[in-house]
């Protein structure tokens, strides 16, 4: 049953919604407009009965801050880490404040693009801008799933491309060793753990002795979902050196006690770098921060030829591109040694004297580099007919020609050096 009725000069809607409940709500002072509203309401009811997601117009008019609060409660109910939830809440509230979004209906593709442009104008990094976009998009996707919006207006907004050079650098193994040796005793274990596990600062601060398992054949550190960035329970294997250091430090400690009494602040870390003789900023302008120790682990894994898929699991990255690109410092990889390990394509052979193809001694004019027109391909020996009438080129002739060409280049280089010495 559906009808319009008039009350106090306004036309009201009277219909049954998709749940079977009777709905009476004000429409418009204009009967035709109220009729259109009733028709839309009935269409929405039929779509909902068919299982199709249909946005509730009333939800788009609700105060945005209340919608964000409901989303935050949803994240809490899902068991997400408190640190992550607080960060998302702050970002969404800030986005609403900066972009002047008061209702859900205020969030449009143009509005989101304008908000990201404001962040760029404020010289925020591409990562910060993309994180803000991801948080807004996740919130709007949740709104679509709850029938608050028809579609996600953020879906049409592309991510910002990061064309900057890397701003952080990893520490080399020698620098890591120098840092551990010179650091005060109370911070040695902290740095050693960060280097060999790659755990983040917040995870290290929340680490308890009950999470450290040292008795098994393969010692590991357990990271509960409540302290990880991903919100998932994870574990990190321990190298023998770190396991032994933790075993010594664990004596007399209770499972609920924190593993580290404190995590060095940036000022303290910079002081420890200076004491270790480590330059904080390199010639390329890249800096060393505490998170660089996580970069050091990724780089050492790559330099040790650990398969990238395994390194990704150790680093606990959701995307292997983070492990291979962002966290691996190419400057510390043994690229020269890698090139030397490539298989030989040609054999290095002794270079014989020039042997003319026709048997004459003046086949290659003195001082003039000669390149034969047809050079035998690899794997074929003996003579091959050239383009010139009756001309043949042997392997020995090719090698001799190359030798003569090198001698010619050497004489030219010597002449240039003589000219340079005389100031010409």
Domain assignment present for residue 165? The answer is no
pLDDT of residue 377: 43
100/135 same-domain check: yes
Select, from the ranges 109-118, 259-268, 349-358, the one with the highest average predicted confidence (pLDDT). Answer: 259-268
Are residues 324 and 202 located together in one domain of the fold? yes
Q: Examine the domain organization and report whether 269 and 177 are in the same domain.
A: yes
Q: Are residues 86 and 187 in the same domain?
A: no
55 confidence band (pLDDT: 50, 70, 90): low
What pLDDT is stored for residue 71 in this prediction?
92
CA distances from 198 to 157, 236, 369 (A): 33, 9, 58
Q: Which domain, by its residues, includes 270?
A: 173-337
Query: Which residue, among 113, 74, 118, 80, has the nearest Cα to 98 in the 3D structure?
Result: 118
Mean pLDDT, range 60-77, rounded to an integer: 89
**Coil, strand or helix at 79:** coil
Q: Say whether pLDDT at 298 is over 70.
A: yes
Does residue 249 have a pLDDT over 80? yes
Reported pTM: 0.54
Residues 323 and 401 grouped into a single domain: no
Asked if residue 329 belongs to a domain, the reply is yes
pLDDT value, residue 269: 94
- SS3 state of residue 398: helix
Task: Give the list of residues 6+ apart from residue 40 with CB closer than 8 angstroms, or none.
Answer: none
**231-245, 257-271, 274-288, 371-385: which range is least confident on average?**
371-385
* Pair 178, 222 in one domain: yes
pLDDT at 389 over 70: no
Q: What is the mean pLDDT of residues 65-77?
A: 90
Among the residue ranges 1-5, 196-200, 280-284, 399-403, the one predicted with the least confidence is 399-403
Would you mind telling me the total number of residues written for the chain in this entry? 424
In a domain, 233, yes or no: yes
In a domain, 321, yes or no: yes
> Could you tell me if 356 and 305 lie in one domain?
no
Tens digit of each residue's pLDDT (9 = 90 or more) over 136-178: 999 998 988 888 887 788 888 888 876 655 678 899 999 999 9
In a shared domain, residues 324 and 198: yes
**Averaged over 211-226, what is the pLDDT?**
91
Indicate if 328 and 194 belong to the same structural domain: yes
- Same-domain check for residues 115 and 213: no
Tell me the C-alpha distance between 51 and 59, whole Å. 19
Q: Dihedral (C-alpha) 82, 88, 89, 90: value to the nearest 10 degrees?
A: 110
User: Is 161 inside a domain boundary?
Assistant: no
* 125 and 264 inside one domain: no
For residue 166, tell me if it sits in a domain.
Answer: no
- Enter the DSSP assignment of 283: T
Phi, psi (deg, nearest 5) at residue 26: -65, 145
The pLDDT-based confidence of 277 (bands split at 50, 70, 90) is: very high
330 shares its domain with 205: yes
Q: What does the pLDDT average to over 401-405?
A: 51
Q: Is residue 29 part of a domain?
A: yes
- Give the range with max mean pLDDT: 8-17, 326-335, 351-360, 409-418: 8-17
**CATH number, position 193:** 1.10.443.10
At 123, is the pLDDT very low, low, confident or very high (cuts 50, 70, 90)?
confident
- The partner residues of 15 in beta bridges, in order of sequence, read 23
Q: How many domains does the chain have?
A: 4
């Amino acid at each position: 049953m559906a009808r319009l009725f008039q009350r106090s000069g306004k036309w009201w809607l009277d219909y049954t919604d998709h749940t079977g409940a009777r709905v009476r709500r004000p429409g418009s002072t204009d009967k035709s407009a109220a009729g259109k509203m009733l028709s839309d309401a009935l269409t929405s009811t039929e779509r909902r009965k068919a299982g199709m997601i249909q946005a509730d117009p009333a939800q788009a008019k609700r105060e945005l801050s209340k919608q964000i609060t409901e989303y935050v409660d949803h994240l809490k109910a899902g068991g997400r880490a408190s640190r992550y939830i607080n960060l998302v809440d702050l970002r969404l509230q800030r986005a609403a404040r900066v972009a002047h979004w008061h209702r859900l209906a205020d969030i449009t593709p143009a509005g989101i693009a304008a908000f990201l442009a404001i962040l760029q104008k404020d010289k925020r990094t591409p990562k910060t801008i993309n994180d803000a976009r991801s948080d807004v998009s996740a919130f709007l996707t949740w709104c679509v799933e709850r029938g608050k919006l028809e579609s996600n207006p953020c879906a049409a907004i592309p991510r910002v491309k990061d064309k900057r050079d890397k701003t952080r650098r990893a520490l080399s193994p020698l620098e890591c060793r120098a840092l551990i040796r010179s650091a005060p005793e109370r911070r040695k274990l902290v740095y050693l753990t960060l280097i060999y596990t790659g755990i983040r600062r917040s995870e290290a601060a929340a680490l308890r002795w009950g999470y450290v398992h040292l008795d098994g054949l393969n010692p590991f550190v357990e990271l509960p979902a409540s302290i990880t960035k991903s919100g998932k329970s994870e574990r990190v294997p321990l190298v023998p050196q770190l396991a032994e250091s933790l075993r010594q430090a664990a004596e007399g400690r209770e499972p609920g006690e924190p593993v580290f009494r404190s995590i060095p602040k940036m000022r303290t870390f910079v002081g420890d770098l200076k004491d270790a003789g480590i330059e904080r900023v390199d010639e390329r302008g890249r800096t060393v921060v505490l998170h660089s120790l996580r970069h050091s682990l990724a780089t050492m894994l790559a330099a040790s030829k650990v398969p990238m898929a395994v390194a990704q699991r150790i680093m606990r990255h959701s995307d292997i591109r983070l492990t291979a690109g962002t966290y691996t410092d190419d400057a510390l990889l043994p690229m020269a040694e890698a090139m030397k390990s490539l298989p030989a394509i040609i054999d290095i052979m002794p270079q014989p004297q020039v042997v003319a193809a026709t048997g004459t001694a003046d086949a290659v004019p003195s001082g003039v580099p000669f390149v034969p027109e047809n050079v035998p391909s690899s794997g074929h020996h003996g003579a091959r007919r050239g383009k010139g009438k009756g001309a043949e080129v042997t392997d020995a002739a090719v090698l001799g020609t190359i030798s003569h060409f090198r001698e010619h280049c050497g004489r030219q280089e010597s002449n240039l050096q003589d000219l340079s010495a005389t100031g010409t």
